[in-house]
Amino acid sequence: MSDSLLEHSTMVAKSALTTIAISAVLALGAGRSAHATEWPTRPVSVFVPVAAGGAADALARAWAAYAGKAIGGTIVVENKPGANGSIAAAYVAKQPADGYNLLFGSTSNMSVNPFTYAQLAYNPTKDFTPVTKVAGTSQVLVANPATGIRNVEDLVKQAKAKPGKLNYGSAGIGNSTHLNVAFLADHFGLQMSHVPYKGAAPAMMDLIGGQIDLTSDALSGAIPQIKTGKAVPIVLFGAERDPLLPDVPTIAEVGAKGFPGDAWYGVMAPAGTPPAIVERLTEATRKFWADENVRKQMAEIFMTPPKELGPQSVAQSMKQEAAVWGPIVKRLDIRND
């Protein structure tokens, strides 16, 4: 064979191999695209890290029912409570990235747990693909009327007069209802005793019964008690005042700057979940909040629409919250294990 013929044959072979390689890549991309387009072909599970009942569970169920129809399928809620949301998160982190197992993430299990658990069975930033925020909610610090505490000034005065005597309840160590008060106390240099409960509801019941002095709770749990005079609102842990509590100042208004904002709930998927699936779930959430009936339903449990939807809405909050909670957890030695 002549050199020119050999050279020509080599070029043809290389060209053929290149064509095959490109075709394989295109076929793989087409396969992935088709897979995302066909999704879902069976029910999708969203794991909610709290027990059935309560505002977070109600939000998850309302979203799942609506979003399931929006994606042309069914989304089933599965409650998997425990360990400040880490049990559900660890489970979903190990599932295939095919869009059939989702997590209802929150400030607690995505932004706080990495700092309060020495050995966490999942990594929020590496093991998950953020999908979108679903809703936000403010929380409020309330006092038992018998304490005589009516505002932050009263709280600071009493706490400094008798360090460690005042106590406050929360939904558990490392829960946002715990860190909210820890943030406030840290800012004002207060020493108060923390009493963790297995949920916000029992903490509120003990506040009403006089077993504890203060507690932090979501508006859905606190406002009914405030209306009946069984709890006195002190400060709102949120970015803005609430129309139902117009005279209650926000955490920033009492001078404690740097609070990361409202607690949030959002959808997380196992790392590597196709972008097309993420986009469809985000669009379903957009339609969820565009529905007037949904807005009315959410207002009843004091949930508000996110200012932004999509993966970045979750990633940005996680980054901001980590910058705040990390140093506070370390300084106050808040441990969950």
Each domain of the chain, given as residue ranges in start order, spans 41-136+263-332, 139-237
pLDDT at position 35: 52
Q: How far apart are CA 71 and CA 36, in angstroms?
A: 11
Torsion 179-180-182-187 (CA) sign: positive
b/e map of 59-94 (b: 16 or more CB within 10 Å)?
bbbbbbbbbbebbebebebbbbbebbbbbbbbbbbe
Q: What is the CATH number of domain 41-136+263-332?
A: 3.40.190.150
- Transcribe 136-177 into DSSP letters: EE-EEEEE-GGG---SHHHHHHHHHHSTTT-EEEESSTTSHH
pLDDT value at 335 more than 60: yes
pTM of the predicted structure, to 2 decimals: 0.83
Q: Does domain 139-237 have CATH number 3.20.20.70?
A: no
pLDDT at position 53: 83
pLDDT at position 310: 97
pLDDT category of residue 37 using cuts at 50, 70 and 90:
low
Are 41-136+263-332 and 139-237 the same fold in CATH? Answer: yes
> What does the mean pLDDT of the chain come to?
89
pLDDT at position 65: 98
Nearest alpha-carbon partner for 102 in 282, 264, 270, 265 = 270
Q: How far apart are CA 294 and CA 303, in angstroms?
A: 10
pLDDT digits (tens, 9 = 90+) for 110-159: 999 999 999 999 999 999 999 999 999 999 999 999 999 999 999 999 99
pLDDT at position 27: 44
pLDDT digits (tens, 9 = 90+) for 194-252: 999 988 889 999 999 999 999 999 999 999 999 999 999 999 998 889 999 999 999 99
pLDDT category of residue 36 using cuts at 50, 70 and 90:
low
